């Protein structure tokens, strides 16, 4: 492979200086016909996945980073984030992003979907500690997982199908992750209702099912990575089993996030006026003689015969 000459005079640089050492490294790379490879960064913001602790969450993404590093040969680091805004600000190359956030505003290129319990979505429900009916929760406090990704639309529209007034609950308490939101109702008793996956409401009363919510997705955020690196990362993630709350990964299923996105908007429902079914009368019915017309209407008469004079009948 041909290499380009470096237009720098090495003798003009101080021997042993940082500049001379950097130049020597570039010369070595050029002589080998290679290029310097950049590090890869992976972030995670998935508050709906119950890892149990912040350490367990970080350990999971670090294990995934090691798998990516083995597949690409590039140093890969991992970081856990407490908000979607902090993840965006850091300009990571790849990220595990909560399903609600992907639905609220898909960003990056989706390259894998997480599986939990063998599926890419989980059924959710409204759970209560104050009774088994919706009316028993009127004026009570609702705990919810605060993602910063259209939380109001998720609760009022996706979970409650735009059928409950926003003022139905006296107050709402946003928590940093799903586990903390459920604990507000199940353990601390500071709230009386919470939306959660059906497998997470142990010890609480299920009021009603609210539909399925997609699991987190693995997305490529950076647009500067070459196609080869992206393919290797995707392969490493989709084949990663790991240990933890996320059971594994599968090929990207964008439709599960767009389906939730369609439920985030308010739906105005109006009554439907149905046209009555016309009653058809057979024309022959009006031509049928009533049975009474077939009966003879006879009047009893007394017949009187008068014999005229002259004994002649007329």
DSSP letters spanning 31-58:
HHT--PPPPEEEEEE-TTS--SSHHHHH
Across-strand partners of 144? 174
Cα 244 to Cα 249: distance, rounded to the nearest angstrom? 12
pLDDT bucket at 7, cuts 50 / 70 / 90: very low
Q: What is the pLDDT of residue 36?
A: 44
Helix (H, G, I), strand (E, B) or coil at 206: strand
Give me the DSSP letters along 230-251: HHHHHHHHHT---SSS--EEES
Q: Which residue has the tokens 């380009």?
A: 4
pLDDT greater than 90 at residue 126:
yes
Euclidean distance between CA atoms 41 and 95, whole angstroms:
8
Quote the CA–CA distance of 244 and 216 in Å, as a whole number. Answer: 14
Instruction: Tell me whether residue 208 is in a domain.
Output: yes
| Tens of pLDDT, residues 67-90 | 999 999 999 999 999 999 999 999
Contacts made by residues 155-158, CB under 8 angstroms, sequence distance 24+: 155/195, 156/266, 157/263, 157/264, 157/265, 157/266, 157/267, 158/210, 158/211, 158/213, 158/260, 158/263, 158/264
Q: Does position 93 have pLDDT exceeding 90, yes or no?
A: yes
- Out of 92-106, 142-156, 278-292, pick the least confident: 278-292
In a domain, 153, yes or no: yes
* Residue 202 belongs to a domain: yes
Say whether pLDDT at 5 is over 60. no
Q: In the chain, pLDDT over 70 holds for what percent of residues?
A: 76
Which of 147, 182, 212 corresponds to the end of one domain? 212
Co-location of 114 and 44 in the same domain: yes
Full domain range(s) for residue 138:
123-212
49 and 193 fall within a common domain: no
The reply to whether 202 and 229 lie within a common domain is: no
Paired with 128 in beta bridges are 193, 205
- Say whether both 207 and 230 belong to one domain: no
**Is residue 313 situated within a structural domain?**
no
Residues 110 and 139 in one domain: no
Does residue 203 fall inside a structural domain?
yes
Q: Is residue 147 over pLDDT 90?
A: yes
Instruction: Specify the pLDDT at position 276.
Output: 75
> Hey, what are 28's tokens?
């070595």
| Predicted confidence band of residue 38 (pLDDT cuts 50, 70, 90) | confident
Same domain? For 116 and 53 the reply is yes
Say whether both 99 and 133 belong to one domain.
no
pLDDT at 6 over 80: no
Are 94 and 218 contacting, i.e. CB atoms less than 8 angstroms apart? yes
Look-up of token digits 């939730």: 260
Look at 44 and 32; give whichever has higher pLDDT. Answer: 44
Instruction: Give pLDDT, residue 148.
Output: 96
Q: Classify residue 187: in a domain, yes or no.
A: yes
Higher pLDDT pick, 165 / 31: 165
pLDDT digits (tens, 9 = 90+) for 230-278: 999 999 999 998 667 999 999 999 999 999 999 999 988 777 777 777 7
H or E element that contains 308:
none
Do 147 and 175 belong together in one domain? yes
State which of 263, 281, 298 marks the end of a domain.
Answer: 263
Please identify, among 263, 279, 298, the residue that sits at the C-terminal boundary of a domain: 263
Residues 106 and 236 in one domain: yes
Residues 133 and 206 in one domain: yes
Q: What is the pLDDT of residues 178-189, one digit of tens each?
A: 999 999 999 999
What's the pLDDT at 286? 61
In a domain, 231, yes or no: yes
Q: Give pTM, 2 decimals.
A: 0.76
Average pLDDT, the chain: 85
Structure confidence at residue 13 (pLDDT): 41
Q: What is the CATH number of the domain that holds 251?
A: 3.40.190.10
DSSP assigned state of 138 = T
Is 223 or 6 the better-scoring residue by pLDDT? 223
Confidence of residue 143 (pLDDT cuts 50, 70, 90): very high
Which of the four pLDDT bands, split at 50, 70 and 90, describes residue 33?
very low
Asked if the model's pLDDT at residue 42 lies above 70, the reply is yes
Q: What are the tokens at 242?
A: 């790991």
Q: Give the H or E element holding residue 228.
A: helix 227-238
Within 8 A by CB and 6+ apart from 127, the residues are 182, 185, 193, 194, 195, 196, 201, 204, 205, 206, 207
- The total domain count for the chain is 2
Same domain, yes or no, for 99 and 231? yes
Angle at which helices 54-72 and 227-238 pack, to 10 degrees? 130
Query: Same domain, yes or no, for 61 and 47?
Result: yes
Residue 71 lies in a domain: yes
């Amino acid at each position: 492979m041909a290499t380009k000459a470096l237009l720098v005079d090495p003798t003009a640089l101080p021997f042993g200086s940082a500049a001379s050492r950097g130049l020597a490294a570039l010369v070595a790379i050029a002589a080998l016909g290679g290029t310097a490879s950049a590090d890869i960064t992976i972030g995670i913001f998935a508050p709906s996945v119950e890892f149990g602790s912040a350490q367990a969450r970080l350990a999971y993404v670090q294990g995934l980073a090691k798998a990516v590093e083995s597949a690409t040969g590039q140093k890969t680091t991992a970081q856990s984030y407490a908000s979607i805004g902090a993840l965006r600000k850091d300009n990571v190359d790849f990220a595990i992003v909560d399903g609600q956030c992907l639905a609220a505003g898909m960003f990056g290129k989706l390259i894998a979907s997480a599986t939990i319990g063998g599926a890419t979505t989980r059924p959710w429900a409204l759970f209560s500690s104050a009774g088994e009916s919706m009316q028993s929760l009127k004026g009570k406090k609702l705990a919810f997982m605060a993602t910063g990704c259209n939380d109001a639309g998720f609760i009022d529209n996706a979970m409650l199908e735009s059928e409950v007034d926003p003022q139905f609950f006296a107050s709402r308490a946003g928590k940093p992750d799903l586990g903390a939101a459920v604990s507000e109702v199940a353990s601390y008793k500071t709230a009386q209702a919470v939306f959660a996956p059906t497998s997470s409401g142990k010890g609480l009363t299920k009021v009603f099912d609210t539909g399925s919510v997609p699991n987190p997705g693995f997305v490529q955020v950076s647009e500067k990575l070459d196609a080869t690196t992206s393919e290797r990362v995707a392969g490493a993630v989709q084949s990663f089993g790991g240990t933890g709350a996320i059971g594994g990964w599968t090929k990207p299923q964008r439709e599960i996030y767009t389906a939730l996105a369609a439920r985030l908007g308010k739906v105005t429902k109006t009554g439907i006026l149905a046209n009555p079914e016309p009653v058809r009368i057979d024309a022959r019915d009006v031509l049928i003689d009533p049975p009474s017309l077939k009966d003879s209407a006879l009047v009893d008469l007394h017949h009187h015969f008068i014999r005229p004079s002259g004994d002649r009948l007329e």
